Amino acid sequence: MNTSDIALVQRCYPQIYLACHKRHIRASSTAYRLSARDSSILVHLSETVPVTPTELAAHLSVRRSTLSAAIDRLGRLGYLRRSRMPRDRRTVALTLTPQGAEAMAATSVLDSERVDAVLARLSRNQRKRALEGLELLAEASKKTLSKS
């Protein structure tokens, strides 16, 4: 790997994070009642691609029993949906509900207005390229994490 590519990511990521990061808010003070841990669980779920609790626990490096209470709570809040995996009806699948997607966005460590302001500084073509690049980095990151 080219060390200048690595240095570019190491330099740029903190700049984006610092420009868009918002102050941490306690769970009890928000309408969504989510802790930082709850938000970190939601951010790993998709509205369309199911994940099993076992896969999620492995990815988050926590025991499944530790994750179970949080999953129960997020389900009661209406933020995630439990269903059965089509390929194995014995296996539970987790997906994000529309309410969960809203809660995740509202409690993100990145402030929506700040992100919007940053993106507004780009031309339409630059914005498209930047977002495609972020998606590529995110996908590569997921693949790297799933192999570790």
Reported pTM = 0.68
Is residue 43 domain-shared with residue 93, that is, in the same domain?
yes
Is residue 90 domain-shared with residue 116, that is, in the same domain?
no
Residue 140's domain spans which residues?
Answer: 111-148
Q: Which of 114, 106, 81, 132 is nearest to 15 (CA)?
A: 114
Looking at the predicted structure, is the pLDDT value of residue 31 above 90?
Answer: no
Tell me the pLDDT band of 21, cut-offs 50, 70 and 90. confident
d(CA 79, CA 10): 33
Looking at the predicted structure, is the pLDDT value of residue 20 above 90?
Answer: no
Is residue 102 domain-shared with residue 29, that is, in the same domain?
yes
Q: Which of 105, 94, 107, 106 is nearest to 48 (CA)?
A: 94
Q: Is residue 95 one of the residues assigned to a domain?
A: yes
Give the pLDDT of residue 122: 95
Q: Which of 116, 139, 138 is nearest to 127 (CA)?
A: 116
pLDDT 10s digits, 41-61? 998 898 988 888 988 898 888
Q: Identify the bridge partners of residue 80 per DSSP, sorted by sequence position.
A: 96
The count of domains in the chain is 2
Q: Is residue 117 one of the residues assigned to a domain?
A: yes
**104-127 b/e with 16+ CB inside 10 Å = b?**
beebbeeeeeeeeebeeeeeeeee
Q: Is residue 79 one of the residues assigned to a domain?
A: yes
Tell me the pLDDT band of 82, cut-offs 50, 70 and 90. very high
